[in-house]
């Protein structure tokens, strides 16, 4: 029996990873540890309540004593670490929260694993989930990021994630902690907090609200369907080489403004509005400070070594995602109002 601690499991990507592991591996105990910040929402995992191999623990990765105790009492032998502050715009206004959670929180988890495992690494693994943003920005004609790319973070978010990546590697090189890392491109799909581009814009199009496009909308992102990321994490967790880093990406680059036009077209079609109705909502606003021009991932190491490739075509993924948000207006309303927090706070007595 493995006892796997998944941090940040009540968030967007974490909830998909927790669901995949709980449903695929009944022989593992999956412990979802989350502080339930504004981004954490246990209703994302309603379908898992009562499953015998799933448990939720409310804790802050910055609380060393609590984390250390959890490692011992729950016999944690593996970690999949996703908990983080994750939104670039928030990191610009509140960089300290990002340093605290993403750097100090990761360091607490590493130190707890080191102390609990005491060099007995048999069957142990610390898997750190990171982002392509640590590599900085590409020009239009540059080659996509490979794992050898020099780190060059520009936002407080990416700087904090870069720092956490360095600590993970340092614990491997210095103390021999068995680690593996992955750096993934932008994810999209169900349960993403509607501060991020895709859910925010779908919701705004539906409600005829302005779509704030930063700068000229020419920045490029490489989009991956969230369940494909979760599958990659599963593969790397089970078959990745210890000490290695794997880049994960969608081979799917979109200029923001082109992607926004696809969202407009899809929402208008599904709501049976005349084609182009919502184009007028596009509103160019002041650019994000330090806005990285382009991200793109070279995922050939992952595909050559472990045989991974994205399963969904983007058109299919976007269609499914737009339908999901249109069908889950109550979920969007509850997260934008903050209502979900009081419900689960009451349920967990916090």
Residues that bind ligand TYD (CB under 6 A): 88, 186, 196-197, 200, 212-214, 219, 221, 256, 288
Q: Is 290:90 a contact under the CB 8 Å cutoff?
A: no
Q: Which of 43, 108, 187, 256 binds ligand NAD (CB under 6 A)?
A: 187
Q: For the purposes of burial, counting CB atoms within 10 Å of the CB of 292, is it exposed (0-12), middle (13-18) or buried (19 or more)?
A: buried
Active site residue 275: no
- Distance CA(255)–CA(233), nearest Å, equals 26
Rule CB under 6 A: say whether 129 interacts with ligand NAD. Answer: yes
The two beta strands, 253-255 and 220-225, are: antiparallel
Q: Tokens in use for 258? A: 């082109």
- In angstroms, give the least distance from the CB of 319 to ligand TYD: 19
- What distance in Å separates the CA atoms of residue 279 and residue 210, rounded to the nearest whole number? 10
Q: Which does 34 bind (CB under 5 to 8 A by kind): ligand NAD, ligand TYD, none?
A: ligand NAD
Q: Based on CB atoms, which residue is closest to ligand NAD, 61 or 213?
A: 61
- Which residues sit opposite 282 in a β-bridge? 211
Of 176 and 214, the one with the shorter C-beta distance to ligand NAD is: 214
Catalytic residue among 60, 77, 85, 132: 132
Does residue 181 bind ligand NAD (CB under 6 A)? no
How many residues of this chain interact with ligand NAD, rule: CB under 6 A?
30
| Partner whose footprint covers residue 88, from ligand TYD, ligand NAD, none (CB < 5 to 8 Å by kind) | ligand TYD
> Considering only residues 1-40, where is the footprint of ligand NAD by CB under 6 A?
7-8, 10-14, 34-37, 39-40
Q: Which does 6 bind (CB under 5 to 8 A by kind): ligand NAD, ligand TYD, none?
A: none
Q: Which one is catalytic: 34, 133, 222, 292?
A: 133
Catalytic status, residue 305: no
> Which residues are within 8 A (CB) of 29 and not within 5 positions of it... i.e. 6 or more apart?
1, 2, 3, 4, 53, 54, 55, 74
* Cβ neighbours of residue 230 closer than 8 Å, sequence gap 6 or more: 13, 16, 17, 19, 20
Least distance (Å) from ligand TYD to the CB of residue 197?
Answer: 4
Local structure of 139: helix, strand or coil = coil
206 scored as a contact of ligand NAD (CB under 6 A): no
DSSP state of 104: I
Query: Between 117 and 295, whose beta carbon lies closer to ligand TYD?
Result: 295
Which are the contacts of 73, defined by CB distance < 8 A and separation ≥ 6?
none
Residue 333 a catalytic site member = no
**Distance of alpha carbon 121 from alpha carbon 125, whole angstroms:** 8
Please choose which of ligand NAD, ligand TYD, none residue 197 contacts, taking the beta carbon within 5 to 8 angstroms, the exact cut-off set by kind: ligand TYD
- Nearest distance from residue 268's CB to ligand NAD, in Å? 25
Q: What, of ligand TYD, ligand NAD, none, does residue 317 touch, CB below 5 to 8 Å by kind? A: none
Residues 6+ apart with CB under 8 A from 117: 77, 124, 177
Pure H helices in the chain: 12-24, 64-73, 88-93, 95-98, 106-117, 156-175, 197-206, 226-239, 256-270, 300-306, 314-327, 329-337, 339-347
236 near ligand NAD (CB under 6 A): no
Q: Which entry of ligand TYD, ligand NAD, none binds 213, CB below 5 to 8 A by partner kind? A: ligand TYD
> Which one among 32, 43, 78, 86 touches ligand NAD, defined by CB under 6 A?
86
Q: Give the binding site for ligand NAD (CB under 6 A).
A: 7-8, 10-14, 34-37, 39-40, 60-62, 82-86, 101, 105, 129, 131, 161, 184, 186-187, 193
Active site residues: 132-133, 157
């Amino acid at each position: 029996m493995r006892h796997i601690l998944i941090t940040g499991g009540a968030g967007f990507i974490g909830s998909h990873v927790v669901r995949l592991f709980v449903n695929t591996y009944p022989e593992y105990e999956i412990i979802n540890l989350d502080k339930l910040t504004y981004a954490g929402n246990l209703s994302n995992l309603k379908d898992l309540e009562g499953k015998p191999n799933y448990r939720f623990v409310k804790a802050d990765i910055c609380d060393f004593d609590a984390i250390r105790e959890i490692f011992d009492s729950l016999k944690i032998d593996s970690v999949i670490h996703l908990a983080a502050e994750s939104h670039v715009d928030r990191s610009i206004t509140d960089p300290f929260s990002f340093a605290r959670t993403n750097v100090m929180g990761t360091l607490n988890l590493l130190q707890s694993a080191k102390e609990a495992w005491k060099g007995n690494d048999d069957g142990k693994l610390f898997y750190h989930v990171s982002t392509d943003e640590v590599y900085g920005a590409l020009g239009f004609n540059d080659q996509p990021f490979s794992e050898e790319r020099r780190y060059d973070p520009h936002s407080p978010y990416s700087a904090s994630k870069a720092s956490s990546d360095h600590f993970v590697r340092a614990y491997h090189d210095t103390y021999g902690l068995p680690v593996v890392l992955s750096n993934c491109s932008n994810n999209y799909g169900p349960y993403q907090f509607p501060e991020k581009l895709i859910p925010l814009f779908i919701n705004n199009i539906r409600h005829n609200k302005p779509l704030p496009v930063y700068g000229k909308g020419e920045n490029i992102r490489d989009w991956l369907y969230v369940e494909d990321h979760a599958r990659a994490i599963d593969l790397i967790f089970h078959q990745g080489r210890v000490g290695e880093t794997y880049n994960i990406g969608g081979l799917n680059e979109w200029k923001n403004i082109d992607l926004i036009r696809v969202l407009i077209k899809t929402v208008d079609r599904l709501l049976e509005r005349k084609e182009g109705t919502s184009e007028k909502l596009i509103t160019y606003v002041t650019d994000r400070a330090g806005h990285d021009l382009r991200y793109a991932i070279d995922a050939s190491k992952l595909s050559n070594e472990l045989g991974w490739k994205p399963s969904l075509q983007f058109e299919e993924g976007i269609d499914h995602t737009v339908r999901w948000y249109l069908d889950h207006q109550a979920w969007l309303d509850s997260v934008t109002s903050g209502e979900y927090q009081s419900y689960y706070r009451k349920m967990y007595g916090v």
